[in-house]
A and B are shown apart, each in its own frame.
Chain A
């Protein structure tokens, strides 16, 4: 079942995913439009892990074509809200 998700939930997902990759990242101090890869020094492997986490948490498969949409916190949230989320039912 696809559920609409709101900004807050999406932001939480992104934060949690980032913290899994960089446990001591100060995600709170990142600006909405700060480039995530640059500011958190994510290389291609880190970014792939981030995409995996985000995909897992939101229940969506994120394709390479969408990588560009995941540049900043703001764009990530926008991307997730647009597509909604399917959660596995218990």
Chain B
């Protein structure tokens, strides 16, 4: 039996406190293992034991202050492995012990080199690592001699809790509203863009425009097949929606041709004066005017559900967007009536770009309270729309064209656009529809107020 005694950890140290026991009775220990943390007046020191064996009993509790030399624990040593150990003595007199200590205990000295491990690891670190589930062989030690310190361990724990995500994938995840930490990568390694896209909420099948992921010949065929399937699914969805609209909704149609001379002049002047990134297209003026008109004539902004009209509190403007290769998606500009023009333009470009690229965000596809379809870019003069149920109105804009026009009693040429309203006769009558179109016209004559 060997005694583990309170060591002298400094020439002037007289007593110390056992702050923490790192072993308990029954634990095997080897010469050089750290078995306790001792607080001296100056520092908390991790103390090694000089014996090899099994801890028999702890003699001093945590927090007790004892003089240097006091036995702190008993270690049962194997007879063969304990040459020259003093015979176990049950609690000898302190005086005797001190003498014995002077005889037997070597003077306090630097720790002997331990059996070679690749990285020196103390039991406290081992314990904390085990609790945190960290593999110590992966931790880089910055302590003396490459020792792993508690800081190193804390860093490793921090890294383990943050799975690796490539910068592009992280950005994409933020755009798509996906949590990258929740994604399981398809291949070993960090979460990549392809993983994020796969995890993004699947909305009515947008056909992917371009695949940037490597594919073998076989999987190219598979991708194409998937695209076909998605296009078919989308067409089916559109067919269903349009059929339902025609079946259920008694439509009435109104049209109005609007002089855009003032609006276009204002637009060109604005665009000349601002950086290219803030340029506006005519479509955004028409969208804003529609949104404000819908805010004014609220009977057209909302949904027909369960036999009554439920007005929406804000104008969430759906912008019907054609997809290249066929199909339709409707990104939504929330609270469009209250959004400043430049921001509306930005959101429009953003939303349209995302749905065209096949990556709509969930926030793009919230239900619209009214929808606009702008086929003007295709050169169509006039649009007879079909309402998207359960909305009660669809506004259509044709192309902006130069037409002869009466201005102040004289014949001139002005840019004009034909705006149409398709409305649900259950919710509104022609008079309301007329008021709505008139409001749009009025707004477009005062573009600076949009």
Contact = CB atoms under 8 A, between A and B. Distances in A.
Direct A/B contact, Cβ within 8 angstroms: yes
Interface stretch (A9-17, A56-64, A72-80, A81-89): A56-64
A62 B281 contact: no
Contacts of A29: none
B377 A48 contact: no
Given A52-B276, A63-B272, A64-B271, A44 B281 contact: yes
A65 B416 CA distance: 19
A9 to B, nearest CB: 21
Contact of A55 (B276, B348, B353): B276
Contacts of B377: 43-44
B268 A45 contact: no
Contacts of A23: 209-210
B271 A22 contact: no
Interface residues of B, number: 17
Contacts of A63: 271-272
B282 A41 contact: no
Nearest to A19: B210
Which of A41, A44, A45, A52 has the largest number of chain B CB atoms within 10 A? A45
Contacts of A43: 377
Contacts, number: 34
Interface in A22-38: 22-24
- Residue in B271, B272, B324, B348 whose Cβ sees the most chain A Cβ within 10 Å: B324
The secondary-structure label for the interface of chain B is: helix
A55 B277 CA distance: 11
Contact of B283 (A44, A52, A64): A44
Contact of A45 (B210, B272, B348): B348
B121 to A, nearest CB: 50
A63 B275 CA distance: 10
A52 B349 CA distance: 13
B349 A49 contact: yes
A27 to B, nearest CB: 14
A48 B281 contact: yes
Interface string B350-381: 00110000000000000000000000010000
B347 to A, nearest CB: 12
Nearest to A61: B276
Interface of B: 209-210, 268, 271-272, 276-277, 279, 281-283, 324, 348-349, 352-353, 377
Given A52-B277, A64-B268, 12 more contacts: A43-B377, A44-B282, A44-B377, A45-B283, A48-B281, A49-B349, A52-B276, A55-B276, A61-B276, A63-B271, A63-B272, A64-B279
8 contacts: A22-B324, A41-B324, A44-B282, A45-B352, A48-B279, A49-B353, A55-B276, A61-B276
